[in-house]
Structure 1
Amino acid sequence: MVNFLLVIIILLIVVIVIQYMSRKRSKAAVSDISTKMDEIIRLETAEKVLLPTGEQELQQLLVQINRLLDHNQKLSADYIKAKDSLRKLIANMSHDLKTPLTVILGYVEKLRYADHLTDEDRHVLMGRLHDKVWSLTGLLNQFFDLVKLESDDYVIPLSKISLNEICKKNILDFYELLLEKKLQVEVAIPERPLYILGNEDALNRVISNLISNSIRYGSDGGVFGLTLQEQDGIVILEVWDKGKGIDEHDQAKVFERLYTLDDARNPQFQGSGLGLSISKRLTEAMKGTIHLNSRPYERTSFTCHFKHITY
C-alpha cells in the first residue's frame, strides 16, 4: 500500500513538473512572439513570426498571426499606393486646370482693359473665351465621371446592342476631322450584326475616346483604321493607326487616371489623361476588356473584347 502511494506521488510530481515546464515553454514562446511582433510593427518590416514549436495550439496561433500580418501589410501597401495615386492625381489635375484658367483670365483681362479693341476683335476674343470655358467644363465633367465610375455602387444598365451600328455612327461623327487630317481611312465592319450586352451611351463614349486618341496621337502615320469582327464567340473591336506609337514603358500606364504622354502637355496635344481611363472602366462595366499593342510606325491598336450574344 505504501509503495502504491509512493508511485502515485511520484507520478503526480512528474505530471506537475511536465506541466510546469510546458507552461514555462509556452510563456517563453508567447514572450518571443510578442517581442517579434513588436519589432515587425515598430520597424514596419514584411517579416513573419517564425517559432519552432511542437504545440498544436501555438502552431495555429502563429498561422493566424502571420495571416493577420499579411493582411495588414497588404492594406498598408494599398494605402501607400492610393496615397501616391491621389498625390499624382491632384498634381496633374492642378496642372490641367491651371493652364486653361490662366488663358481664360488673360482673355477676360484683355476684354476688360483693352479699350482699343474693335467689335470684331472683341467678337473673336469672346469666341475663344467661350471655347476655353467649355473645354474646362468638359475636363471637370470627365473628372467627376471618373470618380462616379470608380464608386462601388455605380451600375450601368446593359441590353442587347448591335456594335456594328455604334461603330458606323462614331466613324461618321469623326468623318470631317479625318478628312481634315488627310488620313487614309480603312474601316472593316461586317454586314452581319454582331450583338453584345452593352450600353449605347457607354459604347459611344469608349469608341469616341479611342478614335479621338488615335487621331490626336497617330495621325503622323497617315492611316486610321477601325476593324470589327467575331472570333470564337468574342466580338473584337480594334481602333488602330500607324503613328509614332507608345513606348513600351508607357504602355502599362496609359489606362491610369490622369496619365498623359509628354506630348499631351504641349498646346498641340491637349489630352486630359482621363479618356483612356474612363474607356477602360466603362469597358469593364460592360463585362469586356481593353488592351493596347504598339509598334511605332507599324501599328498601334486599342482592342476591346466583348462576349458575343445571339439570343
Structure 2
Amino acid sequence: MILLLSLIILILAVLLAMQLMKNRNRSRQLTEIHQAVNAIKDAGSLERVLLFTDDIQLQRLLVDMNRLIEDTHQVDARQRELESSMRKMLSNISHDLKTPLTVVLGSTETLIQDGRLSGEEKDKLLHKVHSKAAEVLELINKFFDLARLESGDKQLQLTPVNAGEVCRKNILSFYDLILSKGMEVSIEIPDSPVFLLSNEEALDRILNNLISNAIRYGSEGKILGLSLRAEESEVVIEVWDRGKGIHEIHQDKVFERMYTLEDSRNKFYQGSGLGLTITKRLVEQLSGRITLSSKPHVRTTFTVRFPRMRV
C-alpha cells in the first residue's frame, strides 16, 4: 500500500514537473513572439513572426498574427498611396485654379487702371474674365462632385432606363459642335429598346464626359463613333475616335484623380483631369466597369459595360 502510494506521488511529481517545463517553454515562446512583433512594428518591415513549435495553439496564434501584420501593411500601403494621390491632386488643383485666376486678376486690373481702353477692348477683357471665371467654377463643381462620389454621400436612385434613347439624346446634343470641328459621326444603336437598371442623370453624365473628351482630344481624326449593343449578360457602350490617342504607358492612369496624360500640362491635353475620374466612379456606382484601348491615329475607344436588365 505504501509502495503504491509512493508510486502515485512520484507519477504526480513527474507530471507536475512536465507541466511546469511546458509552461516555462510556452512563456519563453510568448516572450519571443512579443519581442518579434515589437521589432517588426518599430522597423515597419515586411517580416513575419517565425517560431518553431509543436504547440498547436501557438501555431494558430502565429498564423493569425502574421495575417494581421500582412493586412496592416496593405492598409498602410493604401494609406500612403492615398496621401500621395491627395497631395498631387491638391497641387494640380492649385495650378488649375491659379492659371485662370491670374488671367481674371490681370484683366480686371487692366480694366480698372487703363482709362484709354476702347469699348471694344473692354468687352474683350470682360468676355475673357467671364470665360476664366466659368473655368474656375467648373473645376470647383467637378472637385465637389468627385468628393461626394468617393465619400459615398451621393447615392444614385436606380430605375429602368432605355440606353438607346440616352445615347441618341447625348450624341444629338453635341451634333453642332461635332460638325463645327469637321468631324463625321458613326452611330450604331439598335432600333429595339435596350434597358438598363440605371440612373438616367448619371448615364447622361458618363456619355457627356466621354463624347466631349473624344471631341476635344480626337477631333483631328475627323470621326467620332458611338455604339450600343446588348450581349448575353451585358450592355456595352463604346465611344471612339481616330485622333492622337493615348500612349500605352498612360492608359492605366487616365482614370486617376487630376491625371491629364502629361504632367507637363501641355496644350494638347489641358483640363482638370477630373472628368474621367468622375466618369469611372459613376460607372462603378451603376455596377459597371470602364476600360480604354488606344492605337494612336487608328482607334481610341472607351468601353463601358453594364449588367443587362431582363424585361
How far did residue 264 of structure 1 move? 8.2
In structure 2, the residue matched to 1:222 is: 222
CA shift, 1:139, in A, is 0.8
Give 1:200-219 correspondences, 5 Å limit.
200-219=200-219
Provide, for residues 100-150 of structure 1, a one-character-per-residue CA deviation record: whole Å limited to 9, x for no partner.
Answer: 111111111111111110111111111111111111101100000000011
Hey, what's the Cα distance between the residues in 2 that align with 1:102 and 1:191? 50
Partner residue, 1:181: 181
Shift of 1:267: 4.2
Paired position in structure 2 for 1:29? 29
Give runs of ≥4 in structure 1 deviating > 6 Å. Answer: none
Residue 242 (structure 1) aligned with residue 238 (structure 2)? no
Match for residue 99 of structure 1?
Answer: 99
SS at match of 1:265: coil
Give the Cα separation in 2 of the matches to 1:264 and 1:18.
72
Q: Which amino acid aligns with 1:202?
A: A
Mapped to 2, the partners of 1:162 and 1:14 lie a distance apart of 82
Amino acid at match of 1:208: N
Cα 1:233–1:63 shift into 2, 3 Å: closer
Tell me what 2:59 maps to: 59
Partners in 2 of 1:263 and 1:45 — Cα distance? 32
Per-residue deviation, 1:269:
4.0
Match of 1:285 in 2: 285
Query: Which consecutive residues of structure 1, in runs of 5 or more, have no partner in the other structure?
Result: none
Following superposition, the deviation at residue 5 of structure 1 comes to 2.5
Aligned-partner SS, 2:58: helix
Aligned mates of 2:152, 2:208 — CA distance in 1:
25
Unpaired runs of 5+ in structure 2? none
Residue 240 of structure 1: SS of its match in structure 2? strand
Amino acid at match of 2:45: T
Shift of 1:266: 3.2
Equivalenced residue count is 311
The amino acid across from 1:9 in the alignment is I
Per-residue CA deviation, residues 196-245 of structure 1 (Å, 9 max, x unaligned), is 11112111111111011111111222221111111213211100011121
Cα gap change, 1:57 to 1:263, in 2 (>3 Å)? closer
Secondary structure of 2:82's counterpart equals: helix
With the length of structure 1 as denominator, give the TM-score of the two structures: 0.95
Correspondence list, 1:262-301, <5 A: 262=262, 265-267=265-267, 269-301=269-301
- Report the Cα distance in structure 1 between the residues aligned to 2:246 and 2:263, rounded to whole angstroms: 11
With 218-227 and 272-281 compared, the bigger mean Cα shift is at 218-227
Task: Summarize the Cα distance change of 1:134–1:27 in structure 2 as closer, same or farther, 3 Å threshold.
Answer: same
User: Aligned-residue CA RMSD in angstroms?
Assistant: 1.5
User: What is the CA distance between 1:268 and its match in structure 2?
Assistant: 5.2
Contact 1:187 1:226 (C-alpha < 8 Å) held by counterparts:
yes
Q: Assess if the C-alpha contact under 8 Å between 1:264 and 1:270 holds in 2.
A: no
1:87 CA displacement: 0.9
Q: Name the counterpart of 2:14.
A: 14
